[in-house]
Structure 1
Amino acid sequence: MDERVSRWAAAVRSTSVAEGIHAVDLDGGWSVGGGINGGFQMAVVGQALASAVPGKPHPVTFAAHFLSAATGGPALVRTTVRREGGRFATLSADLVQDDVVRLTVTATYSDLALLPDTVATTAAPFAMAPLEECVSTSFAPPELKKVAPLMERFDMRFDPSSIGWAVGEPSGAGELRAWFRVEEGQAPDPVQLLLAVDALPPVTFDLGLPGWAPTVQLTAHVRAVPADGWLRLRQVTRNVAGGLFEEDCEVWDSADRLVAQSRQLAVLPR
């Protein structure tokens, strides 16, 4: 098995140790600024929930409140089935580390392949420069990679219009766009979309406000099983108020389908 594939599978793997309790080992390589990336935490919890209700392996809604910063090392995911119906199940989960709840989640799970496949939408894919014209995070300076080692865990390539902040020239539009994949040669799955909606840097970078932006709450909607190939991410903000800002993210797959949407509320960088 490819090393990157096995690394991702191992990173989100959980082991059932008791009814509703799963042991996980949070990979410190998914850190940014000393804390584990929120999207990766959601994917770890999402993978544990995927086994909680047989026949309903996919997140449909995923509402996460971030209570404290998680770090690399052992943790537990405690899951509860709140209601199981015909097509949907409602579940909750806590990510617990050192007897402290880091993340609490309420989610709806189903089998996306069994839901109606009709699509009626006014959404259209956003413009993106060709992959070969975009700027890879592999060009980031070593000092930045040291602070944000998660950049070594995936392949992200920014549209040229979204990278001005990296050279001190943010556009001020409050928008970031990038190509994204976790591993070459393997199609992204619905749980991986929970990572994708929180993989971009804070959109405030494009407002000239770099720095850590702690997430207060994030809600993701997973709309379809993504097709094989690169994902396209677009993240925007329209309102900064009370020291908080929202981030709206769209994830499109290689078949030009809107496969995930999210909104999060986060604290402005200090």
Structure 2
Amino acid sequence: MNIDDYISLAANVINTSDTPIIVEKDWSQGRTIYGGLSAALLYAAAKPYVDNERLLRSMTCNFVGPLLSQQAFTISVEIIRAGKNVSQVQARAIQDGKICVVSQFCFGQSRESKIEVLNHEVSNMPLPKKGKFIPQIPKVTPKFLKHFELAFTDGGVPFTGQKASHIHGWMRYKTTPKTLSDAHIIGIIDAWPPTVLQMLRWPAPASTVSWNLEFIHPHRPLNPEDWFAYKVNTRQAAGGYAHTEATIWDSHDEVIALSRQTVAVFD
């Protein structure tokens, strides 16, 4: 199944937590389902609970435990609060009676305001002609990467003993989605490997513990075939954890999202 199929499936679990979802092994990341897909499915399940005028402003996602592929799980959705302008919605992925992923989404509708601060930051990276990144190496390269095209421009490939701890590049879906919703954007932003893995000389597992994603509105309509620029820097790493900050641009060099992650590294 492709990303469109899974998003559609999750969007139809509204008003019930009894509809099981099973994700195929080719979307796995080690023993778990690829985190970007997990978060995208929780968003897809939560979105029908709010009015269309309320846009996704931020998402906070905690990966509590492994969400296994090829095993059924359900999604529960709870409206924490629906105010005059803002709705707070929480979604959980539950497998074998255990909460595996928890996401809280903040939806807000636009209001008249005298305050306007324009963003002028650009990626300054030329558009790629094709993807070029990590080769598919059995038991090393995560299976989910086959669904994405990543064009690496700066930084290092994982496990190559680099001194750098940043990654710059472009990304898009290998199979073009029918449309490009916020769920698709969530699904692709997490595709890049943790920044600090390039500093290691030998393979070691790593996993995102928490992820905060902020969407910038308004922005141009997004084309499903377009590339998206990605620049991520490591703010600090010690004690087996790394803290990263990333900016995401559309193909017109307009910022569409800001991402922050806490990553656990088991080296």
Give the TM interval when normalised to the shorter protein. 0.7 to 0.9
Q: CA deviation at 1:237?
A: 0.2
Return the alpha-carbon distance in structure 1 between the equivalents of residues 166 and 14 of structure 2. 43
Distance, in Å, in 2 between the alignment partners of 1:103 and 1:9 is 20
Correspondence for 1:81: 79
| Counterpart-to-counterpart distance in 1, 2:245 and 2:229 | 14
Aligned to 1:223: 216
Q: Hey, what does 2:199 align to over in structure 1? A: 207
The 2-side partners of 1:185 and 1:264 are apart by 26
Match of 1:153 in 2: 147
Alignment partner for residue 193 of structure 1, among 185, 199, 212?
A: 185
Classify the secondary structure of the residue corresponding to 1:217.
strand
SS of corresponding position for 1:25: coil
The separation in 2 between residues aligned to 1:17 and 1:134, in whole angstroms, is: 36
SS of the residue 1:42 aligns to: helix
The match for 2:236 is 239
Q: Once the two structures are superposed, what CA deviation does each residue of 1:64-101 show, in whole Å capped at 9, x if it has no partner?
A: 11110111132111111111123321111111011111
Question: What is the CA–CA distance in structure 2 between the aligned matches of 1:24 and 1:115, rounded to whole Å?
Answer: 37
Partner Cα distance (1:23, 1:56) in 2: 29
How far apart, CA to CA, are the structure 1 residues paired with 2:171 and 2:112? 27
State the Cα distance separating 1:42 from its structure 2 match. 0.4
Displacement of 1:130 in angstroms is 3.9
Provide the secondary structure at the position in 1 that maps to 2:3. Answer: helix
Distance in 1, Cα, partners of 2:189 & 2:29: 16
How much has 1:18 moved relative to structure 2?
A: 4.1
Find the partner of 2:169 among 138, 163, 178.
178
One-letter identity of the residue aligned with 1:76: T
Structure 1 residue ranges without an equivalent (≥5): 1-5
CA–CA separation in structure 2 for the residues paired with 1:214 and 1:153: 19
Counterpart of 2:27, as a letter, is W
Amino acid in the other structure paired with 1:105: S
Please list the CA deviations of residues 193-242 of structure 1 after superposition, one character each: whole Å capped at 9, or x if unmatched: 22233110111123236532222211111113552221111111021122
Return closer, same or farther for 1:167/1:25 CA change in 2, 3 Å cut-off: closer
Name the CA distance, whole Å, in 2 between partners of 1:184 and 1:257. Answer: 21
Paired letter, 1:150: F
Aligned partner letter, 2:2: R
After superposing the two structures, state which structure 1 stretch, 89-98 or 227-236, moved more.
Answer: 227-236
* C-alpha contact 1:165 1:208 (8 A) present in aligned 2: no
- The counterpart of 2:49, out of the listed 33, 49, 52, is 52
From the superposition, tell whether residues 51 and 60 of structure 1 become closer, same or farther in structure 2 (CA, over 3 Å): same
Sort the Cα spacing of 1:190 and 1:18 in 2 relative to 1 into closer, same or farther, 3 A.
closer
Inter-partner Cα distance in structure 1 for 2:124 and 2:99: 40
> 2:159 and 2:103 mapped to 1: Cα distance?
37
Measured in 2, the distance between the counterparts of 1:191 and 1:247 equals: 22
Q: How does 1:31-42 map onto structure 2 within 5 Å? A: 31-42=28-39
Query: Which has a greater percent of helix?
Result: 1
Letter in 2 for 1:54: D
Partner of 2:63: 66
Match of 1:135 in 2: 132
Find the aligned partners of 1:96 and 1:245 in 2 and give their Cα distance.
27
Equivalence for 1:269: 266
Q: Conserved in 2, the CA contact under 8 Å of 1:197 and 1:220?
A: no
**Quick one: structure 1 residues 19 and 149, their matched pair in 2 at CA, closer, same or farther if it must change by over 3 Å?**
closer
Number of residues of Structure 1 aligned to a counterpart in Structure 2: 257
Instruction: Tell me how far apart the structure 2 counterparts of residues 247 and 241 of structure 1 sit (CA, whole Å).
Output: 12
1:56/1:242 Cα in 2 relative to 1: closer, same or farther (>3 Å)?
farther
Q: Are residue 16 (structure 1) and residue 8 (structure 2) matched?
A: no
The question of 1:90 aligning with 2:82 is answered no
